Amino acid sequence: MDNKYKYSNLASFASKDDNFMGRKYPYILSKYRGEFQRDRDRVIHSNSFRRLKYKTQVFVYYEGDHFRTRLTHSLEVSQIARSVARVLKLNEDLCEALSLAHDLGHTPFGHTGETALSNCLSSDSFDHNVQSLRILILLENTYNNQKGLNLSLNSIDGLLKHNGPVENTKIFENQLPEIFDYKMNFQNSGSLEAQISSLSDDIAYNCHDIDDGLRAGLFCQEELLELKYMKNIFGKSNSSKDEIVRTLLNILVTDLIENSQNQINIEQIKSIDDVYKKKLNIINFSNDVIVGLNEIRGFLKLKMYNHKSILKWNLNSEKIINVLYDYFKKNLKKIPNFQNIYSDDRNIADYISGMTDKYALNIYETIK
């Protein structure tokens, strides 16, 4: 297959061969794979991706075999993103690469671990989205003559703008100043593939947190179906847990596809430059679904994320991160691959944030 035509069947505004941005380091074209396939494959084969297996989504890995982890969450995001991209004739491979990579920078113990680690750092800062890029650009050690995975600049740009155009670059100046070597336009919107990956993340976590919350008994179906949005969908039906999650997932994906296609037409998007210049996302839900998702988020925050059993574990997680930080602050030589070009705190943050829940707990038990 001629590499030039690997993505020739996609829409004119998709990420593809004629708008490929290249890579930072020299590379040789693959005989059979497109460039975004190569990005996806590099992510899948990385150590950081494998570690997601034992990183918390909401529940710690040992609390049940069927609760989501960061790994299964990332796989679900990827599946949703590919489904949306296929209908809109966008680049499925780029969507998959971005979806699988978006949470690589998460600490052990989820967002609680992230907050605790960030609070430990004195002059340095920590953000898991920035850390994902730090891993991909600097910390993954696969090649002899270069740092990171040498992902395409399209993928770097998509991850940079996971939450939209970057308004404040201060966090990057502290945590990842190397990003400025990539000459990215921080103010431009991300590609449609980047936008799809971001909203697929929203769909995935809302649906699977409902599933996991019901499975754990943190709330019941009757409470969930009292929400106005859910009541409009299910009425007084006696749907099972699985039917509720499956139906909601289908509704959200369908709405995202149809509303986004409509927006592409309204905004007269013809090229990827048209996408970059827009200040608002082209890929989005309808207003009714946006309202409904906000209602679901509020419900999950009240009933699940702030449930006493979750809050109790969060306090324990915070304690573990604090103990780990204090220990490695006093024992810098215990940090593998300590890099003198970075501050002590940055080395500590890189090491602790890369730990799985399982590994962090094991270390904690040996030093507490």
pLDDT digits (tens, 9 = 90+) for 92-105: 999 999 999 999 99
Does residue 60 register a pLDDT over 80? no
Least confident of 106-110, 234-238, 265-269, 274-278: 234-238
pLDDT digits (tens, 9 = 90+) for 248-262: 999 999 999 999 999
- Would you say 147 and 137 are in contact if contact means Cβ atoms under 8 Å apart? yes
Residue with tokens 């499925």: 92
What is the reported pLDDT for 5? 54
- What single-letter DSSP state applies at residue 342? S
- Higher pLDDT: 46 or 66? It is 46
Cα end-to-end span (Å), the chain: 58
* DSSP per-residue string spanning 161-222: TTTSS-S--HHHHHH-GGGGGG---TTSPPPHHHHHHHHHHHHHHHHHHHHHHHHHTSS-HH
Mean pLDDT of 153-168: 95
**Confidence category of residue 4, pLDDT binned at 50, 70, 90:** low
**Confidence category of residue 2, pLDDT binned at 50, 70, 90:** very low
Give the SS3 label for residue 127. Answer: coil
Mean pLDDT of 196-214: 96
* Domain-wise residue ranges, the chain: 34-368
What is the reported pLDDT for 339? 95
Q: Please report, for residues 153, 233, 286, 288, 362, the alpha-carbon distance to residue 246 in angstroms, rounded to integers and kept in the order given.
A: 35, 12, 19, 19, 37
User: Residue 163 contacts by C-beta under 8 Å, 6 or more apart in sequence?
Assistant: 129, 198
Q: Which two tokens stand for residue 181?
A: 């070597």
- Would you say 210 and 296 are in contact if contact means Cβ atoms under 8 Å apart? yes
User: Residue 272 contacts by C-beta under 8 Å, 6 or more apart in sequence?
Assistant: 13, 14, 15, 19, 191
Q: Give which of 230, 336, 366 is closest to 293, Cα–Cα.
A: 230
* DSSP per-residue string spanning 282-318: SS---HHHHHHHHHHHHHHIIIIIT-HHHHHHHHHHH
- Would you say 287 and 259 are in contact if contact means Cβ atoms under 8 Å apart? no
**Confidence category of residue 362, pLDDT binned at 50, 70, 90:** very high
Q: Assign domain 34-368 to its CATH architecture.
A: Orthogonal Bundle (1.10)
pLDDT digits (tens, 9 = 90+) for 139-150: 999 888 899 999
**Confidence category of residue 1, pLDDT binned at 50, 70, 90:** very low
* DSSP per-residue string spanning 32-99: S--HHHHHHHHHHTSHHHHHGGGSBSSS-GGG-TTS-BHHHHHHHHHHHHHHHHHHHT--HHHHHHHH
pLDDT over 70 percentage in the chain: 98
**Confidence category of residue 62, pLDDT binned at 50, 70, 90:** low
d(CA 202, CA 188): 22
